Each structure stands twice: as C-alpha cells, then as structure tokens.
Amino acid sequence: QVQLVESGGGLVQPGGSLRLSCAASGDISSINNMAWYRQAPGKMREVVAGIRSGGETNYADSVKGRFTISREHAKNTVFLQMNSLKPEDTAVYYCNLDITHRDGTRYFDYWGQGTQVTVSS
C-alpha cells in the first residue's frame, strides 16, 4: 500500500505565493511520473503540471511562467511552487503519482487527498 500526504494550501491574496508538497510512503521501489491536478467549484478536474523521472516538465497554458513543479526523489516528494496567484487559481489541488512497487509491478494512478488553495482579496 502507498500513502500520499499533501500540504501547503491556504488563503492568499492575488499576487501572492504558495508552495504545495506531496510526500509518498509505503511500498515504493521508485517513483516515475508525477503530476499536479486541480478542480475548481463547478469545473472538471484538470492537469496543472507534470514531471518525469528524467526531469522533463510540462505545464498547462494557464499557469506557464507562474508555477514550477519539482521533485526530491530521496524523500519521495513532489512540489508545486505557485507565484503570482490569481483568483481563478482557486481550487482543490491533487498530486498524482506513477509508482513502481518493490515486487516490480507499476501502478499509474495514486492520488493525494487534496489541499485547498483560495486566492481572494
């Protein structure tokens, strides 16, 4: 079993910054791809940013230049640095991890519990 714990959400004013983290533990041999998703009220869940084990990153057009995804493999952790936050960034943010277990099997769809980000004046 694998557990994902998210933290770092909160209430900020427009233009402010937050840093989200997602730490994985349990039956882990290696972590391959990592991603952040978000879901705003009344909206579909959408991908925000992704990072591969080799370091390649990609971002949704709406956050390019403002958000940065990074990882710390030794701690099985992925981060999302969010700068210049806008009210439309308000959502619940979820991490998603692609993990290889100790027996060599791979599972692509582990989800964190979600952390609320609210951007409001």
pLDDT digits (tens, 9 = 90+) for 86-97: 999 999 999 999
61 close to 118: Cβ distance less than 8 angstroms: no
pLDDT of residue 73: 83
Q: What is the mean pLDDT of residues 5-21?
A: 97
pLDDT digits (tens, 9 = 90+) for 57-68: 999 999 999 999
Distance CA 20, CA 30 (A): 21
pLDDT digits (tens, 9 = 90+) for 79-88: 999 999 999 9
pLDDT digits (tens, 9 = 90+) for 19-77: 999 999 999 999 999 999 999 999 999 999 999 988 999 999 999 999 999 999 888 99
pLDDT of residue 120: 96
